[in-house]
A and B are shown apart, each in its own frame.
Chain A
Amino acid sequence: QVQLVQSGAEVKKPGASVKVSCKASGYTLTDFAIHWVRQAPGQRLEWMGWINFGNINRKYSQKFQGRVTMDTSASTAYMQLSSLRSEDTAVYYCARTLDWGFVFWGQGTLVTVSS
């Protein structure tokens, strides 16, 4: 069965970077992109971007251009966000589509940005 398993919670200081991982299994990795979605406390879901395994195509939301980097290695996708500020405190999810809907989700990784 499809599984997306994310890395654990992180606490970072303002200005630092964070790298969250998402290990995928249970399907042919090159058939589907991995998307990253975040949710600040009490706020809406926010799409950040996607990356493909294999040909390493990627697309970022304009909001995060210049601050986010997505990459893959073996069966793991990574999302790195730099120049962190308090507003980046959020749960970060990786997700995979099926039939144009995000049907598979990781368990979420809480990133806290605090001095």
Chain B
Amino acid sequence: QSALTQPASVSGSPGQSITISCTGTSSDVGGYNYVSWYQQHPGKAPKLIIYEVGNRPSGVSNRFSGSKSGNTASLTISGLQAEDETDYYCSSYTSSDTWVFGGGTKLTVL
């Protein structure tokens, strides 16, 4: 199972919006609405910020939103803040009853 494809890095200025893409196949991202997104600060465990494509867990800022079109899922962060600068990963359930993560994206707030 190959990793889902994410851009290595994205950047934006405070207050702006950015979008991180996550491309898979019809056997994972395109086949199920079980895409999730994680925020991971250095040395910490990942934190779930989006589940089932576009749902936010309790306590997660509504500046984070998710969507999907075909085999590509997207995470949008609006109103960028300095504290958003870190790594983001997508994940999907697959037709093999396994899970797969993306390669990760480093977000820089300029």
Contact = CB atoms under 8 A, between A and B. Distances in A.
Interface of A: 35, 37, 44-47, 49-50, 59, 61-63, 93, 98-103, 105-108
Contact of A100 (B1, B34, B89): B34
A27 B97 CA distance: 23
A102 B1 contact: no
A101 B48 contact: yes
Contacts of B51: 98-101, 103
Given A62-B1, A106-B45, A108-B45, A47 B101 contact: yes
A105 B99 contact: no
Nearest to A100: B34
Contact of B102 (A44, A103, A105): A44
A107 B3 contact: no
A105 B46 contact: yes
Contacts of A35: 99
Given A99-B51, A101-B51, A103-B57, A45 B45 contact: no
A98 B36 CA distance: 11
B62 to A, nearest CB: 17
B102 A102 contact: no
A8 B102 CA distance: 27
A101 B93 contact: no
Contacts of B12: none
Interface of B: 1, 3, 34, 36, 38, 40, 45-46, 48, 50-52, 55, 57, 89, 91, 93, 96-104
Contact of A47 (B48, B57, B99): B99
A59 B46 contact: no
Given A44-B104, A47-B100, 17 more contacts: A44-B103, A45-B89, A46-B101, A47-B101, A62-B1, A62-B96, A99-B51, A100-B36, A100-B51, A101-B36, A101-B50, A102-B36, A102-B38, A103-B48, A105-B46, A107-B45, A108-B45
A93 B89 CA distance: 15
Contacts of B103: 44
17 contacts: A44-B102, A44-B104, A45-B46, A45-B104, A46-B101, A47-B101, A62-B96, A93-B46, A98-B51, A99-B52, A100-B51, A100-B93, A101-B57, A102-B48, A103-B57, A105-B45, A108-B45
